[in-house]
Amino acid sequence: MSQHHDDHHEHGHIQLEYQPALPIPNGKLCLWLFLSTEIMFFAGLIGAYIVLRFGAPTWPSPHDVHLSEPIGAFNTFVLICSSLSVVLALEAAKSNKTGLAKFWMCVTFLLGLSFLGVKAYEYKEKFAHGIYPAYPHGLLYDKPDVYYASAVKVALEDAAKECTTQIDLVDKSAADIDAAKSELEEAEKPEDKKKAEEKLAAAQKVNEQAVAMADTYKERRETLELLRNGLIQWNTRQATQTANPVEGQALLSSIAYTIQHPHEDEEELTRLVEEKGTLTTKLAELEKAEEKDPQEIALIQTRLKLIDYLTADNAEVLRHGVNHTYDWLDLPFVIPSGNMWASTYFLLTGFHAIHVLVGLIVFAVALPATLGVAKATFIEAAGLYWHFVDLVWIFLFPILYLF
């Protein structure tokens, strides 16, 4: 260097060397350009989420929407480990240790696959609880209004029809048994007798199952009718008849609280006890009146029956909500700003999962090859993409699961 410098002084001019474009391979340059567009893409999504999240008057807690912080933390740990393993794969490839490079590449692939598996489990849990990115499959409502009450009523009626169908199955299967017996008696050929015996055995099996479940379905139907008449119809009617909008909204909110509530509320129990006292007095007056109103008396009796049902056993049903008490029943529920949360959650995690899937495809393509020095550049490019995917998740985890 000093000799070269002395030569410059000796000859009195500087010699320049030609350097073509940037001192990095074209493939890596294209990857950085691609990642820059991806950064802008996710920055827009995350920025929009933050604006919506902190600008919304209400926002569901992770517990309300069945988000598990430990599961999210586990997935974060999995992705960080995968970033480390892909670096180890690159170092092994640079040292031409092809077997070791393939091992770490397999580890990276399996960790990425584990991340998607956990994410699929989380999605399954959301769908099982009626949380979807949009209607019509979702059971989620943003506020307890007349539309929500109507949706609950329809769900109760559909469930009651299903119970009736199952109860009627006892009579239908009994009729099938009689028909199969008649067919067996009339059958002359051996093959016809065999078919009739199979039909009789199938009908008897269905009948046994239907009889065993008949009492359960009758009990369920009674509960459904009690909720429909004593809760939905009563509260909706009272809400539409009252001149005070605050009282009307409280009655509709009471429906949502009874179905599913985020926390225990002693005020609701106190309100029901006071309402029971008022209705008991009113019922006594109606029954003593000269001109009785059978319809009004029946409505109040149903309402009192529902209050007794909700406040029995130390208000077990009321404190836990109908949806949590009966695992066979999924009624529409209210979570303020829940639909906004669901839309943003599935959008952000869905796009991130697609990027993880693309990374796994790249790793799957590389795995069959010999991962030596010649493949080091490819592994480095794939690793850069994978680090970006991990970095995005490190931003998503706290804003989705912790705040």
- Write phi, then psi, for 141 (nearest 5 degrees): -125, 150
Give residue 1's pLDDT: 41
Rounded Cα–Cα distance for residues 165 and 161 (Å):
6
What amino acid occupies position 277?
Answer: G
* CA 166 – CA 212 distance, rounded (Å): 11
Contacts of 177 (CB under 8 A, 6+ apart): 200, 203, 204, 207
Contact 25, 377 (CB under 8 A): yes
Other CB atoms within 10 Å distance of the CB of residue 180: 20
Please write the tens of the pLDDT for every residue from 179-213.
888 888 888 888 888 888 888 899 999 999 999 99
Mean pLDDT for the chain? 89
User: pLDDT of 223-251, one tens digit each?
Assistant: 999 999 999 999 999 999 888 999 999 99
- List C-alpha distances in Å: 258 to 126, 228, 234, 332: 21, 12, 13, 11
Supply the pLDDT for residue 293.
83
**What is the DSSP code string of 150-205?**
HHHHHHHHHHHHHHHHHHHHHHHHHHHHHHHHHHHHH--SHHHHHHHHHHHHHHHH
Cα angle value 340/119/363 (rounded, 5°) = 125
Comparing 4 with 149, the larger pLDDT belongs to: 149
The average pLDDT across 270-286 equals 92
Distances (CA, A) of 123 to 33, 66, 130, 252, 282: 32, 10, 11, 30, 49
